[in-house]
Amino acid sequence: MGLKSTITKEKLKSKSKAGIVLRPSTPEIKDDYMKIKGYFEKQNIEIFLEKNSANMIDEEGIDLDILCDTVDFLVSIGGDGTLISVVRRTFRSGKPVLGINLGTLGFLTDVSLNELESFLQNLSDDENYRIDSRMMIKGNANLQNFFAFNDIVISRNSLSSMIKVDAKIDGKPFNSYYGDGIIISSPTGSTAYNLSVGGPLVYPLTDAFIVTPVAPHSLTQRPLVLPADFEIEFTITDNQGAMVIVDGQDIYEVEQNQSIKIQIASKKAKLLHRKERNYFEVLNEKLQWGN
């Protein structure tokens, strides 16, 4: 499954280098970080801390771009939000990201603090890890590009009114949406906001867009799954404008008659997983799938 990577297994086996990013605004994470650092060093993995994370806990750090050039893989320490943010900021480097879960749900993060020591001990064995490639979404509005791992949400600006959006695929109109908004999700994001509003789950190694209306005022609007080689364009037709929310983390404003163009990003995000990680087991454990 998606074992292509810029790192080779040989490189991971020899003295490898890991770049660590911590959940922001939580200096109390330092105790866990020191424990994690010890686990890495015990396995002869050299670690480097990202600058903002380092400042937060009074340690030395390096800029994220330089970190990406220096290390063999990145490590996100926090919850899903931290992992999403690390992936968005680093996927273009091609370096895989390992998520260590210190958050509440930890759907995307792979390894808990309890599991980390044995995971790292086994990292030298080819059979014990996997690198999955996952689709990223590229968006453009007002000549600005942005990238999402989970989703791009086009949302109403004002609580009191609905939003009107015309949608085209490769230049041809296919729908007009009228409601609270539209979620354009990647397969990875299908278990996030898309799930909450009744959209389909799509296996995360699939390439596809999931276009799901939020509270549509219609009896006929349904979530759509579209091929990832389509270019989709959404034009805001009402005079209130709209907000474009990227992975719940960045917000852009768009005005009436402005468009948001969506396409698949040319590069994929790479996640470092435990070999035995099974999507449906994670779905069951974290979201009670099948219970």
Ligand X SMILES: NC(=O)c1ccc[n+]([C@@H]2O[C@H](COP(=O)([O-])OP(=O)(O)OC[C@H]3O[C@@H](n4cnc5c(N)ncnc54)[C@H](O)[C@@H]3O)[C@@H](O)[C@H]2O)c1
Residue 159 annotated as binding site: no
Closest CA to 187 of 139, 134, 264, 133: 134
Q: Specify the length of the chain in residues.
A: 291
Which residues are catalytically annotated?
80
Q: Which residue is nearest to ligand ATP (CB)?
A: 79
Of the two residues 64 and 202, which places its CB atom closer to ligand X in the complex? 202
Would you say 215 is a known binding-site residue? yes
User: Which of 42, 47, 67, 49 is closest to 119 using CA atoms?
Assistant: 42
The 88-117 contact track toward ligand ATP, x by CB under 6 A, reads: ---------------xxxx-----------
Instruction: Provide, rounded to whole angstroms, the least separation between the CB of residue 112 and ligand ATP.
Output: 12
Return the closest-CA partner of residue 37 out of 13, 61, 14, 70. 61
Q: Which does 191 bind (CB under 5 to 8 A by kind): ligand X, ligand ATP, none?
A: ligand X
User: Burial letters for 68-89: b for 16+ Cβ neighbours within 10 Å, e otherwise?
Assistant: beebbbbbbbbbbbbbbbbbbb
Dihedral sign computed on CA atoms, order 235, 239, 244, 250: positive
Tokens of 258: 């402005």
The answer to whether 57 contacts ligand ATP (rule: CB under 6 A) is no
144 known ligand binder: no
Q: Which is nearer to ligand X, 20 or 282 (CB)?
A: 282
Q: How far is the CB of 140 from ligand ATP (least distance, A)?
A: 22
Which positions from 20 to 49 touch ligand ATP by CB under 6 A, shown as an x/- string?
A: ---xx-------------------------
Query: Which two tokens mark 41?
Result: 């060093």
Q: Is 200 in the site for ligand ATP (CB under 6 A)?
A: no
Q: How far is the CB of 120 from ligand ATP (least distance, A)?
A: 21
The C-alpha atoms of residue 184 and residue 165 are separated, in whole angstroms, by 13
Q: Which residues are annotated as a binding site?
A: 80-81, 150-151, 180, 191-196, 215, 249
Binding residues vs ligand ATP (CB under 6 A): 23-24, 78-82, 85, 103-106, 248-249
